[in-house]
Structure 1
Amino acid sequence: MLVKDVMTDPVKTVKADTSLQEVTSLMCLKRYSGLPVVDDNQKLVGFIAERDVLRYLFPSIKDIMANMEAIDFEAMENDYKKVLPLQASDLMIKGVITLSPDVPILKAVSIMARNNFRRIPVAEGEKLVGMLSLGDIHRAIFMKNFTG
């Protein structure tokens, strides 16, 4: 099986200028753990994941090194509001690793495992054409082997 046989298409995307309030609403209410960021031509320009948003709230290395015991992690949860005025472009990862639709799915798993990804964008050149998750692959292999 190839990536194109099991990938999700169409894909929910956001633009670089999408507010983080909208991005986090999609993540929390629609249960997206990450969203591709595209331009008007569906060119993939970045990816924003829940961990990118939450990482923004982490204390700095300098603060941790100075006195970890003094950091009030509970109070830092209230800093979440400072994320909302930002845009996707402020926190997205650029230079995203993608897969071609013609990659065998077990090769895709090896690439995902090596990069510690649970999902990965699928692109033809720079154009986003789908998303592939470990769940997509697992489901496809299960269906092939146990449902005939």
Structure 2
Amino acid sequence: MGIKSFQGKRTATIAKPSEPILVSDYMTRNLITFKEDQPIEEVIETLIKNKISGGPVVNENNQLIGIISEGDCMKQISESRYYNLPIDKNNTVQKAMVKEVETIDGNMNIFDAANKFLESKRRRFPIVENGKLVGQISQKDILKAALQMKGNSWK
């Protein structure tokens, strides 16, 4: 009579407590930022050159004062087209940017951040600490985090 099944010595598996995955672990820290007195045309060139869809607007103290996106630039182009004029050199970031900027905490769990993206329909959130811009998290950063955790538990 042979051995039917042998699994070896059974030992209890010890589950490691899972640490929360934080926004600060995946946020971008080296940001392309804009100043409020920059011309829109310069912003458009920067967006295209760096293959980004927008960025934070900061003052000389690196404090977040707004955010500018492709959509904001498109509005300026549309207005120029409406009046059959070239893009006005006096059109600056200050006139086009969104001043009411929603931010998130760098200590937020990455899954809570994903829900916040779904609820708000935003593509990026700046992260501010002590009044200074320290980073930004995008939807793409959340996707990268999910791919890295593919084999792990979703806790």
Unaligned runs of 5+ in 1: 60-74
> Which protein has the bigger helix share?
1
Give the aligned length.
Answer: 132
In the alignment, which residue of structure 2 is the partner of 1:4?
24
Decide whether the 8 Å contact of 2:41 with 2:87 is kept in 1. no
Offset, 1:125? 4.1
Decide whether the 8 Å contact of 1:19 with 1:86 is kept in 2. yes
Classify the secondary structure of the residue corresponding to 2:149: helix
Matched AA of 1:45: I
Identify the range of structure 1 (124-133 vs 5-14) with the bigger mean alpha-carbon deviation. Answer: 124-133
Identify the range of structure 1 (18-27 vs 137-146) with the bigger mean alpha-carbon deviation. Answer: 137-146
In the alignment, which residue of structure 1 is the partner of 2:145?
140
In the alignment, which residue of structure 1 is the partner of 2:33?
13
Q: Deviations over 1:61-101 (max 9, x none)?
A: xxxxxxxxxxxxxx938958325431110100002000111
The RMSD of aligned alpha carbons is 2.3
CA distance in 1 between partners of 2:139 and 2:147 (Å): 12
Seq. identity, %: 30
Q: Deviations over 1:16-44 (max 9, x none)?
A: 11111211101122112111000111100
Change (3 A) 1:83 1:111: farther
Change (3 A) 1:81 1:146: farther
CA distance in 1 between partners of 2:77 and 2:71 (Å): 10
In the alignment, which residue of structure 2 is the partner of 1:40?
60
Decide whether the 8 Å contact of 2:76 with 2:87 is kept in 1. no
Matched AA of 1:20: I
Decide whether the 8 Å contact of 1:57 with 1:79 is kept in 2. no
Q: Deviations over 1:38-58 (max 9, x none)?
A: 011110000000001112344
User: What is the correspondence of 1:87-106 to structure 2 with a 5 Å cutoff?
Assistant: 87-106=92-111
Unaligned runs of 5+ in 2: 1-20
Offset, 1:112? 1.6
Q: Which has the higher contact order (CA 8 A, sep 6+)?
A: 1
Q: Deviations over 1:94-123 (max 9, x none)?
A: 020001110111111111211111211111
CA distance in 2 between partners of 1:50 and 1:137 (Å): 21
Classify the secondary structure of the residue corresponding to 2:127: strand
CA distance in 1 between partners of 2:25 and 2:108 (Å): 10
